[in-house]
Structure 1
């Protein structure tokens, strides 16, 4: 009977160890994005009832599952356990199919996700002129965003701040007299509202997620091949 190839066995172990590390990385990044204070405040859905964090929550779940599968693959390879390898193969195949389905749905509902983000940002305009604690937290997050990206207001520029403009104008203040600045309520402020910049930041993060997903798909296909070859070799031993 044919024996188990040591090369395949330890390649499978190394592969799954890296796969396990990928799961930790995805989980850590997703949790960081989910718990990021500024991200939560700026993308808070307000009263719209729609959460823009659905994709992040899915990534948290995927990262956790990948960690478990990586553990199963490592143990299955070292202990030459057909049961663990089969569970690993089935779980990995399901994740790959879910990724394909998520990619198709993401492409199909791209305009819908853009609409949700747009509605969320427009809904949050009223928080800039409000005075409650929730509004104050959102205002603090946006002032930090304005400082970093040199913009003012969400959609309509400085006017979005309403009666709170004088209290928060410092982050909008423009030191030059260029076309990118405009006078509002006696202050020289940035002309560009932040909505387009927020959308650009979100789009960049989506591209990163897509890149990670494609990289994972290649790794997952290799994992499927390795696990099935090792599974068959153990069976023929």
Structure 2
């Protein structure tokens, strides 16, 4: 009868212990944000129409799942429990399948999401020249974005601001080489639309890279747990 590899057993334990610690940290942070006074101030400080607790609730669920999987992997490896290792394998496999499904859906609807982004930005471009309360909120965010990323307007540059240009003039002022003249002011020639698209594309690449890295780790976890499961069964 073949014995259980000590190297594989303790490698599996160490891997899942780190997994469990990560889950504990995520869960602890999410609970703190959910129940503490300071945490609530942090997550409700933004001016958006979505429920700020949705993301926190998702973090609580993710942290809990990671903790449970880490616990199953650690105990299954140390106690050489085939039942725990099998539960760990099934849980990790389900997560991997969900990631693959999400990746396929993301690739399928990539063109659709790009179209929705363009339509949203074009609608926001119209709000820059309006005076409603909704328009003022968008304008406030755009002024901050222009100041940070050195751009002006969304579609047609400074002209997007219309009669509201005096309010955004300071954030549009250009002192470098990429400048053009508008209403007697030197403003950035680059529109914020192109920069926003670049930021979205860069973030998507980062998300894909993280998802790929997690998938590799999960596949290794699946392989190690199944090898250990088989070794325990043949011991």
Tell me the equivalent position of 1:81: 81
**Structure 1 alignment gaps of length 5 or more:** 46-55
- Does 2:216 correspond to 1:221? no
Following superposition, the deviation at residue 89 of structure 1 comes to 0.6
For 2:24 and 2:200, the matched residues in 1 are separated by: 22
Structure 1 SS opposite 2:224: helix
- Does 2:197 correspond to 1:199? yes
Following superposition, the deviation at residue 152 of structure 1 comes to 0.4
Tell me the equivalent position of 2:122: 122
CA contact (8 A) 1:24 1:63 kept: no
CA contact (8 A) 1:10 1:77 kept: yes
Following superposition, the deviation at residue 228 of structure 1 comes to 0.9
More displaced 10-residue stretch of structure 1: 160-169 or 220-229: 160-169
Tell me the equivalent position of 1:143: 143
Following superposition, the deviation at residue 164 of structure 1 comes to 2.0
For 2:208 and 2:67, the matched residues in 1 are separated by: 20
Q: Quote the RMSD (CA, aligned, Å).
A: 3.3
TM-score norm. by structure 1 comes to 0.75
Following superposition, the deviation at residue 36 of structure 1 comes to 11
Following superposition, the deviation at residue 192 of structure 1 comes to 1.5
1:68-126 Cα deviation digits (max 9, x unpaired): 42333223223333222212111111222222222222222221111111111112223
Tell me the equivalent position of 2:99: 99
Structure 2 SS opposite 1:183: strand
Following superposition, the deviation at residue 25 of structure 1 comes to 9.0
TM-score norm. by structure 2 comes to 0.76
For 2:145 and 2:231, the matched residues in 1 are separated by: 56
CA contact (8 A) 2:20 2:66 kept: yes
CA contact (8 A) 2:26 2:60 kept: no
